[in-house]
Structure 1
Amino acid sequence: TDDQFRAVAAAGGVVGLNFSTHFIAADDPDPSYAALSAHLGHFLALGGEDAVALGSDYDGTDVPSWLEPAERIGGLYGRVKAEYGEKLAQKLFFQNAMAFFERYDARGEPPCGM
């Protein structure tokens, strides 16, 4: 829920936006970039600039055709960079997840106290 996302972000956590077609659009077996971007935009509007991470394990789920095979992730980076800017693209693809793990390692416990 939006409240859960806000709570994770407030606790210094990170939420991964996965690329499963069923998550992006339940009624579309091959959702577009626009559908994925709508989810991303929603998370950003909730204050997720420092709490969203983009990536997928490509193992056990269907991803949109424009993201298959995994080597196409660079194309997604380019689209996100064009839409949201390079600084935010770097956060979403690299820095937010790295910062989370650095915080976790430095504190010796998860940011949410789990």
Structure 2
Amino acid sequence: MQPGGGIVRRALMTAYYVQRRLKLGFVVGFFQMFLLKLTPDAGFAKPSYFVAVVHSRRLVVLSIRGSFEAADLLTDFVPDTEAFQDGIACKGMLDSARHLLNKEASFLRHLLTERFPVCA
């Protein structure tokens, strides 16, 4: 397990609860984070994630859950590699990253340019 993984897992579980029950922000550490989007259902090359903002710190957060379900393991165990930038990447992970880019790039760009224009 990576350092801080428990904090992210708790934040994701809290975000899921908040999104379903309260539809408010939640606190991570000392900062109130407002959940904007939650995709708890994972699939092959489609990771679970959430998008939130921390207004007090002018942060946009994209939190991607690690391997947790069988579908995640299928993504992890794709044996193929693909050329990427100056090296190679696991095809399953690269497909997951491309999925997120295609699905969320315009939303994240909007947050960074409209809500926090200094970040752009």
TM-score higher than 0.5 here? no
The structure where helix makes up a greater share of residues is: 1
Structure with the greater alpha carbon radius of gyration: 2
The structure where strand makes up a greater share of residues is: 2
Larger relative contact order (Cα-Cα within 8 Å, sequence gap ≥ 6): 1
* TM, length-normalised to structure 1: 0.33
* TM, length-normalised to structure 2: 0.32
